[in-house]
Amino acid sequence: MEIQLGTEYVVKKPKIPFRAKLANRVRQTYRYDTAFWRSSIAGPWGAGIFVFSLSAMGMPTGFGALIDIMLFALAGTTAMYVISHVIAILLALTGLPVPRLFAGSAIFSWVASFVAFFIEDQDFIVAAYISIAIMVAGLLIGLSFGLLMNKRVNLYNKIGFVAVIFTACITIVLWPGKYENTAVIHMDSVDEMSSENPAENGPYKVQHFNYGSGNDVWQAEFGKRVDLVSDSVDASTYITKWSKFRTVYWGFNQAALPLNGRVWMPEGTGAFPLVLIVHGNHLMEDYSDDGYAYLGELLASRGFIAVSVDENFLNYSVWTGIPDNDMQTRAWILLKHLQQIDKFAVDPSTSFYNKVDFSQIGLIGHSRGGQAVAMAADYKHWFALDTTLADIDEFNIQAVAAIAPTDKKIDGKYTKLQDVNYLTLQGARDGDVKDFDGERQYARTTFTKNTTDFKASLYIADANHSQFNSGWGGHDISYPKGILLSRKGMLSAEEQRKIAKVYISAFLEATLHEQQQYLPLFHDYRTGLHWLPETSYFNRYESGQFVPWARFDEDANRMSIPQGGTAVGKEVKWKEEEAKNRSRSGKGTRGAVLERDGEETTASSYSISWKHAAPSGDEVTNSSKSQYLSFSLSDRSYELEAELETGINELSELDIDVEIESMDGVISHLPLSKFMSISPLPETRYTLLPWLDLNLSDGKYKDPTEAVFQTYMISLSSFTEANPAIDLSGGIKRLTFRINGGPGMIMLDDIGIHYN
């Protein structure tokens, strides 16, 4: 038998060249990008457009927000289309079995978000965290959209899915969180003011017009539609670095700066006080000067000529930076406006003719403008050698109001105001100028003895920086980073500007119109609470009628007090130190810090005494003027919280009695709470997450509280009512603060007598 063996043939596949493999993979780049995944690309695209739109608002071109957003969205979409396809091809070359175009879109969206936030904040961790969150949100939205577009999913399931997503979104948006209203109101022993609300329009009709160069290509009211043509001024002495692109944008350089102003003038005869208003450093292309119309219209109706000054050309631009020495130039421009208005005022063809009272001038500034107005009032200090300002002495600047001002050292110097009324406002939720720098200028404002000039401050718990200008929006820092700031519990823009209207109008009425009935508002904010929105307030006040007993600035010896006085503390830890802001920088004033640990069995006390009576100035004790014991107090108990976390004690409210002793040894004491309780300081959460407070902008927002002062004024007659046996005609021998309760810590400053 014959057996035939079978033969097996193995056919080897021809070896495909590497280049051919790559080419084949490229041809199959989109094989996994089904209709579902292509529809889902809408999510990453939307996330990218969101970031590009935010960047557009943070990098304005001057053509308007809508055009900027459209340009950035178009550029972003184009970049995404190209780069996503490139990434898809690269993924195809690796052979990864993923929807590559969708993955490329997601990667582009994440990288674009990271770059946008990293450039803005320069913090890798923050940028990574935010960009991942945006990418994940984009992916979820995209997958949801893909599901809704999928024809294989029935309509009922789609409706149910949409309902779940909608409910989740509404819950997240409306969830109340842990925010608590910070309003603390103590109306004990205070009567509301019966005066007319200073925030209400006055009797004058208002005429509105503009003056300017006539050549402004961006704002027609200063260009072809200008009402009065003004001069240009040469600031090249102060500005040496001016970008060529800035010249291209504006059409002028530092040698020909325009004097542009928006004017609100009361109709009628007579000379009216003049008030200049100036903005701060906002994005150059997002014009700021029209944001104070609410003040201009109000003041004009009450008999002031108000002018909002344009200094946008000195502001920062993403494209051109900022000119050097801009702070001094801002102040210089204000003085040039005074000269220009003086020129208009002698021209019968202008509305200013015979209308301006140059002996009554007020300046209002916001942010850097708040520092600029103080510098302008202190012009002899800053512009003594400027011959172009030789006639500035003819203008009497009597009042300066600073809204959330900066206080930067310029050429190694700070502004000092002498015999100029000063008001400063600050929000505790200010995400731009987070420190109350106005308190530093407050400390450097002094008065000749017995003058009626005064200084005052107001700290507002739930106010931010930008809402004092109606054009700056609700976020204090530029986009895209601005979306990370929280607005929960914040005052509305209308409420915040109402506070500015009440205080600034009352301030100018009191200082330029001599309407003394508004002074109680500055002594004690509670007298005007019926005019103000609900939040917590802290105010300080001092005038030339104040006779200081202890300011703690004279030396480092805690035991000594000026004019032969001595200080003694019992059952209390006490020291003298400089007051600090959130940034731990000094406020330019020292005070006495008293700490009680709460374990003492007797009251703690801090006393200042004199052998030959406390200083009384040139006044006599039987003067017809009312006399008030005055001091500033800051509750710094919050600084003890970290120390007490591991201990058995907890913070509790301090109970303080104020005691005075006459020269013949008779004592009278009163509980401080009878006049004003110690209010806890605002605790601010700036951002959407506590983690961001600690890390955003190098920890700029890590300190939730600033130790601001509150002025207390107690009539000496209250002490005689409490103990009729006390006779203060011979003077006061000793002042004592007796402290119970705690643990707690306070800081005292500016102790003395006020004559009103």
Q: Mean pLDDT lowest for which of 357-371, 466-480, 635-649, 696-710?
A: 635-649
Judge whether residue 188 has pLDDT over 60. Answer: no
> Is domain 546-755 given the CATH code 3.90.230.10 in the classification?
no
For 18-49, write each residue's pLDDT tens digit: 677 677 777 888 888 888 888 888 889 999 99
Among the listed residues 231, 232, 226, the one whose alpha carbon sits nearest the alpha carbon of residue 210: 226
Domains 206-543 and 546-755 equal at CATH topology level: no
> Is residue 670 classed as helix, strand or coil in its secondary structure?
strand
Among the listed residues 563, 690, 715, the one whose alpha carbon sits nearest the alpha carbon of residue 629: 715
Mean pLDDT throughout 351-357? 96
H-assigned helices in 448-592: 493-512, 519-523
Among the listed residues 301, 295, 313, the one whose alpha carbon sits nearest the alpha carbon of residue 259: 313
Other residues' Cβ atoms within 10 Å of the Cβ of residue 624: 6
Return the CATH fold of 206-543: Rossmann fold (3.40.50)
CA atoms within 13 A on the CB side of 12: 3
239 vs 329: CA distance, rounded Å: 7
Q: Which two tokens stand for residue 105?
A: 């879109």
Among the listed residues 367, 298, 356, 342, the one whose alpha carbon sits nearest the alpha carbon of residue 509: 298
Of the pLDDT bands very low, low, confident and very high (cuts 50, 70, 90), residue 1 is: very low
Judge whether residue 323 has pLDDT over 70. Answer: yes
Among the listed residues 472, 476, 477, the one whose alpha carbon sits nearest the alpha carbon of residue 463: 476
Other residues' Cβ atoms within 10 Å of the Cβ of residue 100: 26
Q: Mean pLDDT lowest for which of 203-207, 330-334, 654-658, 690-694?
A: 690-694
Q: Which two tokens stand for residue 592?
A: 């006495």
For 415-426, write each residue's pLDDT tens digit: 999 999 999 999
Q: Which two tokens stand for residue 339?
A: 């000269």
**Which region, left, alpha or beta, applies to residue 62 given φ > 0 means left and ψ of -120 to 50 means alpha?**
left
* C-alpha separations of 342 from 140, 297, 330, 360, 388 in Å: 63, 21, 19, 13, 14
Domain residue ranges of the chain, discontinuous segments joined by +? 18-174, 206-543, 546-755
Among the listed residues 281, 286, 374, the one whose alpha carbon sits nearest the alpha carbon of residue 322: 281
For 540-557, write each residue's pLDDT tens digit: 999 999 999 999 988 878
Sign (positive/negative) of CA torsion 333, 335, 341, 342? Answer: negative
For 254-312, write each residue's pLDDT tens digit: 999 999 999 999 999 889 999 999 999 999 999 999 999 999 999 999 999 999 999 99
Other residues' Cβ atoms within 10 Å of the Cβ of residue 159: 11
429 vs 475: CA distance, rounded Å: 11
* Amino acid, single-letter form, for residue 623: S
* C-alpha separations of 553 from 164, 435, 550, 557, 708 in Å: 64, 21, 8, 10, 18
At residue 187, the pLDDT reads 53
Which helix (H) or strand (E) segment holds residue 656: the answer is strand 654-662
Q: What is the mean pLDDT of the chain?
A: 89
Strands 744-755 and 546-550: antiparallel
> Is residue 526 classed as helix, strand or coil in its secondary structure?
helix
Does residue 548 have a cis bond before it (omega within 30 degrees)? no
Nearest 10 degrees: Cα torsion 61, 64, 69, 70 = -100
> Is residue 687 classed as helix, strand or coil in its secondary structure?
strand
At residue 175, the pLDDT reads 57
Contact 430, 504 (CB under 8 A): no
At residue 454, the pLDDT reads 97
One-character DSSP codes across 696-724: TTTTTT--------EEEEEEHHHHHHH-T
Of the pLDDT bands very low, low, confident and very high (cuts 50, 70, 90), residue 620 is: very low
Measured at the alpha carbon of residue 566, what is the angle toward residues 565 and 571, in degrees to the nearest 5?
150
Q: Which two tokens stand for residue 579?
A: 């007051």
Q: Say what the pTM is.
A: 0.91
632 vs 709: CA distance, rounded Å: 6
